[in-house]
Structure 1
Amino acid sequence: MRTLLQTRMNAIVNLLLALDRLLAGVKLKRLRSGGLEWVYLDSGGNGEPLVLVHGFGGDKTNWTLICRRLRGRYRIIVPDLPGFGESESPVNARYRVQDHVERLRGFLHDLGIERPHLGGNSMGGYTVALYAAQHPAEVASLWLIDAAGVFGAKPSELLAAVQSNGPNPLLPQTPAQFREVLSFAMSKPPYIPGFVLDVMCRRAMACIALRDQQFKDILEHSPHLEPLLPAVPAPTHILWGDRDRLIDVDCVRVFGELLPNSSSTVLPGIGHMPMLEAPAESARDYLAFRERLAVQEAIAAVPAV
């Protein structure tokens, strides 16, 4: 009986996710790239490509509230990175940020996308920033949302917990701890029905060993961004929540000092995931950045007299 109920709840959640995609104006697609099956969202259209990359433990659904507000302006592509969401999880694979960069680059090339605008949250921000540092000619702009990857800032609650060798707050072992993770990550989480939380929890519990491996690969085997950022030419906008407990808001200062062409916004009362906690404000802030960028490009295109 319990298995049947769980099957029905899974089916209902999948229907709700399909409705969410419909409201966001994106379609679920699949592509085989680098020997792996990628599952991703694609708004289609002829607009400039905007690629949005989720964080650790997240997936493509983290971006649908933003997609609703940016639809029609860009071609929005939102992949599940391999090892997350519905994309394939390679056996005995490495999950360093460098690995994410190489896989993402191959995926975008297979889609025929040569110079996208890149955005990312947390690990996803780390990934797109490293992508821009290593392949500067292939990135039109960066949108870094509570991005990981710099270590010269004030330690966050998460970093302090990990460095003390205590339990990792991002690796819940029970349903109650899973709910605590949501509260830890977001100051203003969106409403999620209880039965949906139950399904999310079961899915998270099923891959806890993989998440532990992935976290270690990121923390122990990925390059620090500080030496690389000064050479990043891409116009960059940094968005942060001032109540981020995972990656301290002091990172805004570090990113801003090192990136030569950057701007920033700090949202009061918001945690680690502004695109979920304050999607309307986050989208307006991004559109303002892109408008400033368009003006700069127009001015640069005017021939000198």
Structure 2
Amino acid sequence: MFVTLGVLALIALWVWWTYPRVGNLLFELIGWVEARRSRLKAIRVPIKSMTLATYQGGAAHAPALLLVHGFSADKGVWLGFARHFVDDYRVIIPDLAGHGKNTFVAGGDYSIAAQARRMVALLDACKIDKVHVIGSSMGAYVASWLAAHHPERVLSLGLIGAAGVNLPQPNEVEALVNSGDNPFLMHNRAQFDRFFAMTMAAPPFIPEVLLAAEAQTYIKRREELREIFADFSGSPRMEPWLPHIQVPSLILWGRQDRMVPVASAHTWQAGIPHARLEILDGIGHLPMVEATQASALHCRELLDKAKVYASIRP
């Protein structure tokens, strides 16, 4: 009896110990396969004081497209989306500092301005003068800062579920943060499940083993994410600079976005009067993952508009 219980306990311990690790290995394998399918290569790019992990694909002399992920995500969220652009663009997808394959450095400055400066340094290192840039959530914040403060480097701007303006109405995430319960900073699987449910309204199928691995990663990175969140959320809001954004711009939102309310889209549109607004029904905070083809189509229209704009601009 006791031997049987001991064996069962050892099996349970082994499953608990290895299950998330299997998920991490599967994540790596799936990422490699998806990158191959999208004809992207993993390339590390040295910039001042650090090296950025990136995916890159497309012809070296094609127009450049920079894709910037959001807070606590990584470059992998763009893999399916990027597949729609590698035939015509030089696609560059970095892990932002403190994220993905990049080493977290305490006190490393994860403000929006610092992240935007790193994107400029990345373009310089890749010998790219001008770029189309599309960002998601915090990545859209970085992208808009880039367009406003380094306009000579940006050809067009795509903002997907953008953070970076004052929220026009009460928001679920803001209320939790203000109550001391930041949903990004989790201690257990239940908190991860709550967070994951907030990210997408129409998520693709994700096996449980991958969710377990992702939950473990978030729990382990809690203190790192706390510092990054404080730096980015303490950055100046974009409203004063939005009128300075003159390039063709797209604001893309999921109507069921629980992370950043869809009402925020109208703040961006009011600040960038020439921007086109598209709202996707039944979609949450990550349209490029939840509705990849529709999101790519809207962004393709933006890039086509930018070509016309560039041809007539003096």
TM-score between the two structures when normalised by the length of structure 1: 0.93
Q: What value does the CA root-mean-square deviation take over the aligned residues?
A: 1.7
| Structure number, greater radius of gyration | 2
Is 1:278 matched up with 2:273?
Answer: no
Is 1:30 matched up with 2:44?
Answer: yes
| Unaligned residue ranges in structure 2 (runs of 5+) | 1-13
Amino acid aligned to 2:300 = L
Give the match's secondary structure for 1:38: strand
Map of 1:1-305 to 2, 5 A cutoff? 1-2=14-15, 3=17, 6-45=20-59, 46-151=61-166, 153-163=168-178, 165-220=179-234, 222-300=235-313
Over 3 Å counting, the alpha-carbon distance change for 1:6 and 1:226 in structure 2 is closer
Residues 64 and 91 of structure 2 are in contact (CA less than 8 Å); yes or no, is this contact kept in structure 1? yes
Query: How far did residue 8 of structure 1 move?
Result: 4.3
Over 3 Å counting, the alpha-carbon distance change for 1:93 and 1:299 in structure 2 is closer
TM-score between the two structures when normalised by the length of structure 2: 0.90
Query: How far did residue 13 of structure 1 move?
Result: 2.6
Amino acid aligned to 1:78 = I
Query: How far did residue 127 of structure 1 move?
Result: 0.5
Query: How far did residue 12 of structure 1 move?
Result: 3.0
Query: How far did residue 179 of structure 1 move?
Result: 2.1
Query: How far did residue 278 of structure 1 move?
Result: 0.5
Give the corresponding residue for 2:4.
none
Over 3 Å counting, the alpha-carbon distance change for 1:94 and 1:300 in structure 2 is closer
Query: How far did residue 186 of structure 1 move?
Result: 0.7
| Unaligned residue ranges in structure 1 (runs of 5+) | none
Amino acid aligned to 2:44 = R
- Percent of aligned pairs with the same residue? 31
Query: How far did residue 232 of structure 1 move?
Result: 1.4
Q: How many residues align structurally?
A: 299
CA distance in 2, matches of 1:105, 1:300: 23
Query: How far did residue 299 of structure 1 move?
Result: 4.8
Which sits farther off after the overlay, 202-211 or 123-132? 202-211
Give the match's secondary structure for 1:190: coil
Amino acid aligned to 2:271 = L
